[in-house]
Amino acid sequence: MNNYISIIKSNGTFQFKNSMTSTFEWNLWEGKITDKFVILSAKKHYYDGLNEICLRICIKDGLWTISKKKDGVVYFQKKGHCNTSGTNPEIEIVLSNGAIYDRYCSVRDKKFVEFLRRHGLSSVRKVNPNQTYYGWDIYSARGNAYHNIYTDGKKDTTEEDCRNYEWENPNLYKNSITVNVSNASWVIEDSYNFWDDHHSHSIILYTTEDIYTLDELLPVIQ
């Protein structure tokens, strides 16, 4: 799951709210606050080289940059702005887990982060929820996975047994999941995958509606 953290201004300096210090550590993420920048980064060596993700926020003007690198070469970059001025500014940040090359981080407004927390969501995608979703249902010695779909629409689910001859234990299984959703205004996809080298867990809301009008309709995913 994701980690939601806040950075607040206390006695004229910024600190991580949960620890009230200038440093932070969680699941390979490391953070530090200097007099000029807030920096959060995670890195790890994989078979294809050193993978890194980094968020850098300029305290003076609130400009932030998210960069992803492989062996020091930037292949993805996103920029934005947050409020670092005023008497009591508070910056809300979401950090994901999983393999470094699959991770993301984001700077979000407080109202939106509170909405995500209420429903156990990791992100929202403003797209038509009526589509086909794919995932895995696995229970094996090499790890586990599951794929759940929640919706106010109709869903048709198909499972395919993907075991091979090596899977002699009938209590172990590996099924591919296909879910077709129709007549829906929203879909929540809960995808957990800790199998082999895949390590991720995302809970994504798909909708074109105003998310705050769905607040009382959506389930809480735990």
d(CA 182, CA 180): 7
Q: Average pLDDT, stretch 78-96?
A: 87
Q: Is residue 21 part of a domain?
A: yes
90 and 173 in a single domain? The answer is no
96 and 150 in a single domain? The answer is no
Domain boundary among 46, 81, 108: 108
Strands 13-16 and 23-26, bridge-based pairing: unpaired
35 and 94 in a single domain? The answer is yes
Q: Is residue 219 part of a domain?
A: no
Q: Is residue 114 part of a domain?
A: no
Q: Identify the pLDDT of residue 165.
A: 55
Q: Is residue 84 part of a domain?
A: yes
95 and 140 in a single domain? The answer is no
Dihedral sign computed on CA atoms, order 93, 41, 53, 60: positive
Q: Environment class of residue 206 by beta-carbon count within 10 Å: exposed (0-12), middle (13-18) or buried (19+)?
A: buried
Q: Is residue 179 part of a domain?
A: yes
* Confidence band of 111 (pLDDT split at 50, 70, 90): confident
168 and 196 in a single domain? The answer is yes
DSSP conformational letter for 182: E
* Confidence band of 203 (pLDDT split at 50, 70, 90): very high
* Confidence band of 166 (pLDDT split at 50, 70, 90): low
137 and 192 in a single domain? The answer is yes
Q: Is residue 119 part of a domain?
A: no
What backbone phi and psi angles, to 5 degrees, belong to 122? -100, -30
68-82, 97-111, 116-130, 174-188 — which is least confidently predicted?
97-111
Is the pLDDT confidence value at 167 over 60? no
Q: Average pLDDT, stretch 27-52?
A: 95
Q: Average pLDDT, stretch 189-202?
A: 84
Query: Which stretches within the chain are classed as H helix?
Result: 110-119
Q: Identify the pLDDT of residue 180.
A: 98
Number of structural domains found in the chain: 2
Is the pLDDT confidence value at 108 over 90? no
61-70, 123-132, 136-145 — which is least confidently predicted?
136-145
132 and 174 in a single domain? The answer is yes
User: Reduced to 3 states, what is the DSSP secondary structure of residue 116?
Assistant: helix
138 and 199 in a single domain? The answer is yes
104 and 8 in a single domain? The answer is yes
Q: Average pLDDT, stretch 123-148?
A: 91
8 A C-beta contact, residue 149 and residue 158: no
* Confidence band of 199 (pLDDT split at 50, 70, 90): confident
Is the pLDDT confidence value at 86 over 70? yes
176 and 206 in a single domain? The answer is yes
Q: In sequence order, which residues have a C-beta less than 8 Å from that of residue 207 and are 6 or more positions away?
A: 124, 126, 129, 185, 186, 187, 214
Amino acid at residue number 38: V
d(CA 198, CA 193): 6
- Give me the percent of the chain exceeding a pLDDT of 70: 96
Mean pLDDT rounded to a whole number for the chain: 90
* Confidence band of 11 (pLDDT split at 50, 70, 90): confident
Q: Is residue 116 part of a domain?
A: no
Most distant CA atoms of the chain, gap in Å: 65
8 A C-beta contact, residue 90 and residue 18: no
Q: Is residue 120 part of a domain?
A: no
Q: In sequence order, which residues have a C-beta less than 8 Å from that of residue 209 and are 6 or more positions away?
A: 185, 186
19 and 51 in a single domain? The answer is yes
Nearest to 136 by CA among 178, 180, 199: 178
159 and 94 in a single domain? The answer is no
**Which residues pair with residue 93 across a beta bridge?**
5, 107
More confident residue, 164 or 178: 178
* Confidence band of 44 (pLDDT split at 50, 70, 90): very high
User: Reduced to 3 states, what is the DSSP secondary structure of residue 117?
Assistant: helix
Q: Which range of residues forms the domain containing residue 208? A: 125-214
